[in-house]
Structure 1
Amino acid sequence: MHNNQRQSDSQRYAPFALLAVAQTLTQKALRAGCACAGRYASGENCMIEEVFPHVGEILLERIFNEDKSLLANFLEIEESNIQSVHRQLPLEFVGSPVIFDGFSTLDLGVLLKNNKVLPIEVKLGRFGLAKASVNKMLNPCSISAHTSEYRVSGKLFAILNRNYDSELAKIVGNTELCTRINGETHPISDVWGVIARDSVISSWKKMPPDFNGKQKIISIESVCSSYGEHEFNNLVGGIFSGVNFYNTWFPQNA
């Protein structure tokens, strides 16, 4: 069953993962300019390192759906409370005129037995996540001034931290922050998660950002080491194999 699932995931995810790889490699090549071939070759590991934040959500979704006990342990809940894990879920205030743009999506959403979704923000970069930078992401959400609609302006950190300015808070009133999975609406839990690097988490322990205290901070290194090096490498290899990228990206009937 796992082999069939891995093949299915390869077909679903590999084109998106390789697009992320291509974007990263292109950016690196442009920055490198006339760098010699030797320097380029020596930098391949660095490029692979930079690709990880782009594909990390895909890997985490698979890991947590395969091993719900692993996720339950990090969230400090019973495994039986977890139904499934989903990626890139939309946001909405049900019954409110306020809307979110298409970029405001949950990195990961854990569908719980009580039909609520526990949201997880995935931050896998090594830089730009010090207290001052994160606090900027926590600035209160507001109503965008660039549209005639009631559209939310703000970062996901602020949304999950429930940081709304007075105007937005007044408009949304008592409406619930929700998401949708397979067409069904689910309330988003007050408890939320952040997955980050050990080095970032260490810096937060020394100088904590202004989180609301309802966050669960999870180490990506701990997740992947608990899953296992061999299993992790097989998972990554499976996502990047078994797909005809030419036919996927250039369908003949397009």
Structure 2
Amino acid sequence: MCRVIAVANQKGGCGKTATSINLGVGLVKLGQRVLAIDLDPQGHLTLGLGFPKNLRVTLKNMMENIIMGIEFDPREAVLHHAEGLDVVPSNKLLTGMDMSLISVEEREMVLKEYLDLLRDEYDYILIDCMPSLGMLTINAMTAADSVLIPMQPQFYAADGLTELLKVIKGIKQRFNPELAIEGILFTMDASRYNNAKRNKQAVRSAYGEQMHIFENSIPRSEAIAEIASEGVSIFAYDKRGKGAASYGKLAEEVLHRA
């Protein structure tokens, strides 16, 4: 059975795209069939895997087909990365979709309808959400089985978690009663600093009984920062480094939680 995981946080720069790419490839390395959905008009997941900006067919086209009720091949937009990860790409043309969805009947369900056409072909679908809580992110959470929340162990990042959890609760009540929280993942973790330790402990104290907090955190790493321009995952770029080890452990933890 396919699991759809939305990787979401309204705060930018918290490692959503890096997590979507590296968790995806990590799951592929564990024998899973994985599709990554680029739901950000910035197209960072698409670019981060080495695909160009000016693709003819993207997620925007697929969602428009759903909205207009057109028969189409849902695999037309799927690209294949050399490391075994499939991708539905995006670019800046997705920018207007938030506004376009406002006038659509059952607008929260458009992405779900598209992903339902692909579920049988994958074990995991990972949705890399944009850094906002707009209609596209609502679509992602309506389509998802769970939400994985990457966050830096910093004061302001922890403060913004409350707002995100309210949105998840609202979507669960209105559109997706089965929606769960996959867990909170600490990213860019400079664990040797007391401030990071204090903030992680504060999050565990506040939320540890309500939801899963991943045992393994993702370290602050130059190698992870550099892969955005290389078109590969951390496993291909620095397979013996701490970043690859941490994302490998994350993939194992996600798989074992299935």
Q: Note whether the superposition's TM-score is higher than 0.5.
A: no
**Greater share of residues in strand:** 1
RCO (CA 8 Å, sep 6+): is it higher in 1 or 2? 2
Structure number, greater radius of gyration? 1
